Amino acid sequence: MDRNFGRFGLALAVAVLLVGGVSKGDDSSLSNLPQAVRATVERETKGFEIDDIDRDRDNGKIVYKVDSLSMDGRSSHLEVAVDGSLIKEEKQLRRKDLPAAIGSVVEESVGDIVFFRITRKVSSGGDVRYEIQGDKIDSEINLVVAGDGSIANKNIKAIDRNKITGDGGLGRCRELLIELRYQLKVAAFGDSRGAHGINARYFLGEENKKFPMAMNFSSSGAGLNREKAIIEDYLGLAPNLEWVVYGTSPRIFNKYYDNWGGNPFQGGSVYRTDRMCWGPWQQSSTKPVPASAIKGDMAGPLGYEVKYAVRNDDYKDADDIKDAHKRLRRGRYEFDKKRLRAFESMIAVLAKRKVKLLVFTPPIHPVSAGQPCADDDGTTREAYDELVSKMRAWEKKYPNFHFADVNNKGRHKLAGTDFDDFDHLNDQGAKKLTLILDGIMKTIDASH
């Protein structure tokens, strides 16, 4: 089968401090490389975008270490000598990139498999090997095939997909998604501001309360990498999904804010089972599931009833206001190109699936209005304006993309009494925000 990890995966990129006059991140850095090194790098990174180049010394000799990412999430690492010779390479391949002879060896050895991950490794001695992970419905397979086609290692692990334990990093959301995937229409995402600020219960009117059709996948501390992985790898399993709602706190694009996130999904038996829709996914029913039939805690993903109550505003005291303004005095912001590319990739995936995407800026306490920074993560007012500009550009480029600047640099419709703290809504604030978003979605639906 012509499937492999590259379609689903995301690779982690580690920011490296570059030395020796070589700059970071884009192809212009190639101009600083010796001609022989540049030729090798360009050849070996074809189809990838260079993320880091590091000039280093290994056993007294200068080497160039290059990390790259492809648009479909595959990673590449290579080390090149000054004369252009390839010292070492580790690159994730697509199925179609696997040499035909190696592919034939795999088929003869284990039969027809779904390729999960293919990694080509070249050692300092020039030896080539292919590390191949693949799946069948009843087994997981690991092979190491040498460049000459000989099998260096073979391991086949029998597995019962229905008995796999663990949540694959999705927590309670995985169980609910399996159970509700045929009726899911709205999926919400964000970091802690999304987890506290979106109450999925208040999407889609009263029918959603009886037969849950909306889920909140947001997680405190979550980065763009986590949310992108769920959207691209899991939401395709919900065939009736109509909307993705994403709270884009400006910090998710800030190069100086460490919130890219790890790879909680793309590894292990849970993810490998889920991406193929095997095991428990095959047992799910298309019959609508009422809220009364769902067991376990639903409060986070599906929401909860909110009783309005008068709350206190933490920023009424003059000293508290002064402290808040102090936190918003200075900022440092630079857009991370990798994160912008990743976000646009996510938009494109949803566009192909004909799923609408509503992106909004999560509200910050109104005490932030008029300050030099729009967020205490370092987002300057200028950076905030640039973020809005980029969102408006995507809105023109992608028909499925819609943007709402809810926060508006602190000048929004929510009161200080709707906040638990500086940048997180309380229960009544979450209900108000969700109803605002629901209204925007209804207006867009009505206009199409």
Q: Which domain holds residue 266?
A: 172-447
**pLDDT at residue 263 in the model:** 61
Give the per-residue pLDDT at 31: 78
Q: To the nearest whole percent, how much of the chain has pLDDT over 70?
A: 92
pLDDT score for 327: 87
b/e map 309-335, b = 16+ CB within 10 Å: eebeebbeeeeeeeebbebbeebebee
Domain identity same for 189 and 117: no
Looking at residue 428, its pLDDT comes to 95
Does residue 286 form part of some domain? Answer: yes
Reply yes or no on whether the pLDDT at 150 is more than 90: yes
Among the residue ranges 233-242, 257-266, 321-330, the one predicted with the least confidence is: 257-266
User: How do residues 290-331 score in pLDDT, each as one tens digit?
Assistant: 999 998 888 889 999 998 887 888 888 888 899 889 888 888
pLDDT of residue 2: 43
- Confirm whether 93 is domain-assigned: no
Single-letter amino acid, residue 334: E
pLDDT at 264: 57
Banded model confidence at residue 245, pLDDT cuts 50, 70, 90: very high
Rounded distance between C-alpha atoms, residue 426 and residue 431, angstroms: 9
E strand spans, 206-242 = 214-216
State whether 335 and 399 are in the same domain. yes
In a domain, 165, yes or no: no
Q: Domain for residue 167, yes or no?
A: no
Final residue belonging to a domain, choices 122, 138, 159: 159
Residue 103 shares a structural domain with residue 82: no
- For tokens 């600083």, the residue is 32
The Cα–Cα gap between 33 and 22 comes to 7
Pairing of β 86-93 and β 114-122: antiparallel
Matching residue, tokens 């397979």: 141
In angstroms, what CA-CA distances link 121 with 47, 80, 198, 263? 17, 14, 45, 22
pLDDT interval class at 18 (50, 70, 90): very low
pLDDT at position 404:
97
Query: Of the candidates 113, 131, 159, which is a domain's last residue?
Result: 159
pLDDT in tens, 337-388: 888 988 999 999 999 999 999 999 999 999 999 999 998 888 999 999 999 9
Question: Average pLDDT, stretch 49-74?
Answer: 86
Bridge-based pairing of strands 114-122 and 128-136 is antiparallel
Q: How many domains does the chain have?
A: 3
Given pLDDT bands bounded at 50, 70 and 90, which one contains residue 265? low
Lowest-confidence pick of 226-230, 258-262, 427-431, 438-442 = 258-262
From 107, 132, 159, the end of a domain falls on 159
The answer as to whether 52 is a domain residue is yes
User: Is 103 among the domain residues?
Assistant: yes
- Asked whether residue 271 falls in the same domain as residue 196, the answer is yes
Say how far apart CA 14 and CA 85 lie, in whole Å: 24
Amino acid at 331: G
User: Average model confidence (pLDDT) for the chain?
Assistant: 88
The residue to which tokens 């000054």 are assigned? 82
Q: Are residues 120 and 215 in the same domain?
A: no
**CATH number reported for the structural domain that contains residue 150 in this entry:** 3.10.450.40
- This prediction has a pTM of 0.84
Q: Report pLDDT for 139.
A: 96
Q: Do residues 212 and 115 share a domain? A: no
Please indicate, yes or no, if residue 92 is contained in any of the structural domains: no
Q: Which two tokens stand for residue 289?
A: 């599931």
Average pLDDT over residues 411-428: 94
* Shared domain check, 152 and 73: no
Query: Is residue 70 located within the same domain as residue 148?
Result: no
Same domain, 260 and 285: yes
The arrangement of strands across the sheet holding 75-81 comes to 49-58, 61-69, 75-81, 86-93, 114-122, 128-136, 139-146, 151-158
**Does a structural domain hold residue 53?**
yes
CATH code for position 312: 3.40.50.1110
Mean pLDDT comparison of 7-21, 214-228, 327-341, 401-415, highest-scoring range: 401-415
CB 40 within 8 A of CB 94: no
> pLDDT of 90-128, one tens digit each?
999 999 999 999 999 999 999 999 999 999 999 888 899
Whole-number Å distance between alpha carbons of 432 and 426: 10
pLDDT level of residue 28 (50, 70, 90 thresholds):
very low
Does residue 105 sit in the same domain as residue 73? no
Same domain? For 321 and 376 the reply is: yes
Residue position matching structure tokens 């938009």: 347
Shared domain check, 151 and 212: no
What Cα–Cα distance (Å) separates residue 295 from each residue in 174, 179, 302, 305?
Answer: 14, 11, 12, 17
- Write the CA distances from 149 to 102, 122, 230, integer angstroms: 6, 15, 36
**10 pLDDT band (50/70/90 cuts)?**
very low
Lowest-confidence region among 14-23, 33-42, 47-56: 14-23
